[in-house]
Amino acid sequence: MRFPNGWVGGAALIAGPVLLLAGTLLRSPFHFFFPDQLRAVAEHPGLVKAAYTAFLAGNVVMWAAVAHLAQRIGARSPRWAAWGGVLVTVGLFARTFHAGIDQAAFSATRHLGVEGATELVARGYGDLHLFSFLSFTIMFGWFVLAIGTYRGGVLGKVRAVALATTGLLPLGVLKGAEALSVVGTVGLCVALVPLGVQVLREQPRPRRRDVVIAVPVAMGLGALAVLSTMG
């Protein structure tokens, strides 16, 4: 059996783009650069944290969507599948790293105030780290993957172009949303959500035993999630 399987891959193809779009739209009312983002989290903490959390969740879920896409591309274009899958996945790791810095900056805003947090972030904004050298993957990987989906017969020309628009999403720490952010996340939804629906429809109906097992497993994972916050 391939990993991720059709159920995981299909669900990720739907949930990942939708969460990224939701996060983008939620942060769109606020100005783009980090001083404005820190001011926004101080003035509208619930909304801004929901926006960043939705975007982070979508970014994490996308790994399974990308892995499933690479599997489908690989049937006809294995090289495009490998390069596109690797580059986009590394880009997803980079955005997750940036999200950790975002969270630290929001915490600093709560403890130091907007001016103190802005000064702290400004001092270290240009510091080099591993993903400084890999930030090109955040944008470039989507172009490679989009070409792969077209050459591999996974997406038609229009939806492959829509997928490529994901590479237009701004990158970096504490970035808000602008017009290109909306274009990129809408394009991602246009490209992948219909494919996710198709993939789920292709799956065999789950057996009653699988459903019965899934309920306690889900409850157990929920309990572990709560316990994880206490460590």
pLDDT in the model for residue 64 = 97
- Residue 180's contacts (CB-CB under 8 Å, 6 or more residues apart) are 168, 169, 170
pLDDT of 231 > 70? The answer is: no
Q: How far apart are CA 52 and CA 110, in angstroms?
A: 16
Q: Is the dihedral of CA 165, 170, 173, 174 positive or negative?
A: negative
What is the value of pTM for the model shown?
0.93
For residue 38 the two structure tokens come to 């820190």
pLDDT in the model for residue 76 = 95
Confidence label for 210 from pLDDT (cuts 50, 70 and 90): confident
pLDDT in the model for residue 230 = 84
Q: What is the mean pLDDT of residues 18-38?
A: 94
DSSP assignment letter at 118: H
What are the tens digits of pLDDT across the range 79-133? 999 999 999 999 999 999 999 999 999 999 999 999 999 999 999 888 889 999 9
Contact criterion met (CB below 8 Å) for 72 and 143:
no
Contact criterion met (CB below 8 Å) for 21 and 183:
no
Q: How far apart are CA 216 and CA 227, in angstroms?
A: 16
Q: How far apart are CA 188 and CA 18, in angstroms?
A: 9
Q: How far apart are CA 212 and CA 84, in angstroms?
A: 37
pLDDT in the model for residue 162 = 97
What are the tens digits of pLDDT across the range 158-203? 999 999 999 999 888 999 899 999 999 999 999 999 999 999 999 9
Proportion of the chain above pLDDT 70, given as a percent: 99
Helix (H, G, I), strand (E, B) or coil at 108: helix
pLDDT of 43 > 90? The answer is: yes
Q: For residue 68, how far is the Cα from the chain centroid?
A: 15
Q: How far apart are CA 152 and CA 214, in angstroms?
A: 34
For residue 98 the two structure tokens come to 């940036």
In the block, tokens 């939708």 appear at 18
